[in-house]
Structure 1
C-alpha cells in the first residue's frame, strides 16, 4: 500500500543539530555530483485553528487500521526559481485548516475501545524543518537513490507529529521538499490531494479538490456479514502463535530506480497482446524478472500484494477526494515455474484477474469485518513481516495520484519525485517518469545479490 513497507531505521535527531549528506550512486539512473552538505537551521510546529478549542476523537476505520503503522516519506525536487520558505510555510498553515487530521495525533492506547485520531485542541500540530545546502541542486540531478535520502526529511524514529516536512534550500534557489506522513492517517491518494492543495494555496489559487471526510460510504450492512475470510490476508489470525519473519542487516538490501521508456512500455504491451493495462503489463514483466533474479526454485509459490484503491470500486463510488485510507490488496500468485512458463501474457492476466476480484462485494465484506472485530486488537499482516518479503512482492502504483502536477509556483519545475531509501526487501513502486519522453520509473528493493541480476535482465523482453 502506499501501503508500501517504508520501514525507516533512523537514529538521528533534527533539533539543534547539523547534518551532512554524501549522496552516492545506488541506482540505474546515474546522477552528477555526489557531495551534498545539508545543514538543519530551524524547526517549528504549526498548530492551525483555535488552540483553545475542545479536541475531538475520530476512531480509525478498519482501512486505517489495515494500513501499516509506519511513516511514508517522499521527496520533491524543484529547480529554481522557487517560492521562499516563508511563503511555503504560510501556505502550509492555511492548507492544514482544510486537512485537520494531518495536524492531529494518534492515540492507540489499550484503554480505548478502538484506536483514534485526536484533532484540535493544543496538542498535535505539524513539524516544519528548514535546512540549507551549500551546493546547487543541478549538481545532484538526476537524484540517485541513496540511504542518505533519509537526511532530507524529518526522522520518523522519534516522531510525535503525524505530518512532518523539511524544506531543503540550495544555493541556487532550488528546493527539495522531504515530507513524512503517518500511513494510518492517509493513503497515497489522500496525500496527493493534500500536496496539490498546498501548492495551490501557495500560488494563491483556488483549491479545486478539497478533502472529503464523510464516512457514510463505509457503513457496515445490517447485520454485518463477512463473505470472505480476511484473517491471514489482511490481518493476522486471532489465534496465531508463530510469526514467519526473515530479517537481514539493512546493509544487504539495495534500492534501485529503473527507467522504462515509453517506447519500451509499448513493446511490453505488444508482447502481452495489448489486453491489459500498462500497470498490469509492467508489473507482470517485473514479477517474472524478479523471480528469475531471486533464483526461486520451480515449486516455490510466489505472490504479489498489489495495492488497489477502493474508492471507485464501491457502489456508489467514493470521491477520490475522500481523505483517509481506502485501500485493499489483490493477491495474484503462482509457482515460479508456472509464472515463467506462461510468459508475460499469463503474468499480466493473473494480475488483472486478482485486481478485478477486489470489487464492491469484497470491500463491503471487509467493512463488515471491521464492524464484527473492530474491538479486537487488529494487527495487519504488514506489521508481522520481517524486512525480507521474498518470495513475495509488494507493489504500489503512484501513476494516477498526480504528484507530478504539484506546482508551488515561482517558475521552477518539478525535477524529481520519489520515495526515500527503504531498508526493506521486496518492494516495487511505480512512479511517473521524468525523462524527456515521459516513460515510467520503477523503484525496486532487493537483496544486493539479486539486484545485480535484475540490473542485467530488467529490460530483456524474453
Structure 2
C-alpha cells in the first residue's frame, strides 16, 4: 500500500459511461452494446454546516500504555476515509443516532479499542513508531446539509463533494495532534444521513475495519455483546530476530531510491480525465471462461473474479500509453493479499491491525500484448501464491532492515467485497458504503456495483491515454 494514496486530487469529466452488455448464446459479449451515460452529479457542493464537534473520551479511565506497530502498520501512516449512507428511519432521528454512536464509540474505547483515542508517537528508545494510548479522544462531528439524499441521484458516482462529509482536519492542529479516528454524522433534509469515518490506516486494514464496524454497530444496540472480539496482539507480525530476508523483493523500493524511480503512489502533476468502467457478472464470467480455455493455464491457477479482472486491467493499463512505453521494459502490477491464513500458524481471523502485503506480477510490455489472457491470469495467480509464510516473514524482515515502500507501475486497490454495506445497525444497513475516491494515475480502484453483482473500475489517466484504455478495455472483452 502507498503512503498517501488516499490524498485526493480531483479532475472530473462531464460524463461517465457505463456499458451494459448483453451476451449471445455462446457466452461472448455482443460487439454492439447498449450504452448508458451518467451525467456528472449536478451537486458539486453540499454546503455542509458543522453544528457541533467534540472529542469523545472513554467512559472509564484506561491504562496509559503503548501499542507495538508491525513493519506493515508503520508504513501505513495516512488516513483512510469512508462514507456510509443511510436512508431515513422514523424510529431513529439524527439526534438518537448521534447519541447511540457516541455511546458505542465510548464503550469501544474502554475495551478493546482503547487505541482509537491515542496518537502516533516515535519511541526514541526503540526508534519505532507506536500508538501511545494517552486517551486524547476520538473526534465526533454533527453536521447537516439542506439537500435531500435523493438529490445526489447516484451514490456510486465518486462525487468530490463527499469530502465535505468527513472533517479533514481537527481544529487546525498539527499533524501529530490529529485524532487517529474522526466520525462525522451529516443529516439530509429527507431524514437520511451520512456517516463519515476517517481512521489512520495504521489502526486497521480492510478486514479488521469491517470487524470494527460490526462491533460499533453491536454496541449501538441496547445491551448487546461485541460481535467479534478482536485480537490486538500485533507482535504476532513482529520481525524475526535477527531479521532473515530470504527472498529478493522487487516489489519493495528503498527510500534512498525514491528519487531515481517514480513510486506508484507519487502525485501526478498532469491533468487527469476520469471514468468508471463497469464489468457485469456476465463480463466476469466471460473473462473466467477465456482464462479456462487458454492453453497456458495450469492446474494450480486460481481463476477467481479478482484475478481475471486484475489481469484484464493490467493489460489495458500498460498498453494505453504506447508512445512513451519502452516495449522491452518490465512492468509490475501490485495488489494486496491477506496473509492471515497464509502464515504458520495462521493469524486469528480477528487480528486487529494490518495483515496485508503487496503481491506482484511482472511482464514486458510487448508480452502483455502478445500473451494469451490465460497466461496473464496465471501470473496474477502465481503472485498471490508466492505469498507463503516464509515469503511474508521475509517481507516483514525486509522492513526491519530497510526503510521503503511497495514498488510497481500500477496498484490495484480493491474495496470490492469488503461488505461495509452489509453491517446491520439499529437503524438498518447502509444504502451504500464507499471510500472517498482519489485520483492517481497509477492507482486503479475496484468497488461494488450496487445491485448489479459486478464491479466498477475507477480509472484516472491523461485524456489520450484514457481514450486508448477505454478502447482496449472493450476490445479485450470481445476477443
Unaligned segments of structure 2, at least 5 residues: 19-37, 294-301
1:86 equivalent in structure 2: 99
Is contact 1:255–1:422 with CA below 8 Å preserved after alignment? Answer: no
Matched, 1:42 2:68: no
Label 1:145 to 1:173 Cα distance change in 2 as closer, same or farther (>3 A). same
Matched, 1:74 2:86: no
Matched, 1:173 2:185: no
Alignment of 1:39-438 (within 5 A): 39-51=49-61, 53-67=62-76, 69-81=77-89, 83=92, 84-97=97-110, 98-108=112-122, 113-121=127-135, 123=136, 125-143=137-155, 144-155=157-168, 160-204=178-222, 205-215=224-234, 217-221=236-240, 223-230=242-249, 233-236=251-254, 240=257, 242-245=259-262, 252-273=271-292, 276-295=303-322, 296-370=325-399, 373=401, 378-381=403-406, 392-411=409-428, 413-435=429-451, 437-438=452-453
Is contact 1:168–1:176 with CA below 8 Å preserved after alignment? Answer: yes
Q: Please tell me the root mean square deviation across aligned C-alpha atoms, in Å.
A: 3.0
Is contact 1:212–1:322 with CA below 8 Å preserved after alignment? Answer: yes
TM-score, scaled to structure 1: 0.83
2:33 equivalent in structure 1: none
Is contact 1:75–1:417 with CA below 8 Å preserved after alignment? Answer: yes
Is contact 1:105–1:162 with CA below 8 Å preserved after alignment? Answer: yes
Is contact 2:140–2:182 with CA below 8 Å preserved after alignment? Answer: yes
Label 1:235 to 1:245 Cα distance change in 2 as closer, same or farther (>3 A). closer
Is contact 2:119–2:134 with CA below 8 Å preserved after alignment? Answer: no
Aligned length: 430
1:385 equivalent in structure 2: none
Shift of 1:301: 2.2
Return the alpha-carbon distance in structure 1 between the equivalents of residues 99 and 16 of structure 2: 34
Unaligned segments of structure 1, at least 5 residues: 11-22, 383-388
Q: Deviations over 1:150-196 (max 9, x none)?
A: 22212159550111122121111112222211112221121111112
Is contact 1:25–1:146 with CA below 8 Å preserved after alignment? Answer: no
Look at both structures and tell me which one has the larger radius of gyration over its CA atoms. 2
Alignment partner of 1:414: what SS? coil
1:7 equivalent in structure 2: 7
Return the alpha-carbon distance in structure 1 between the equivalents of residues 115 and 15 of structure 2: 36
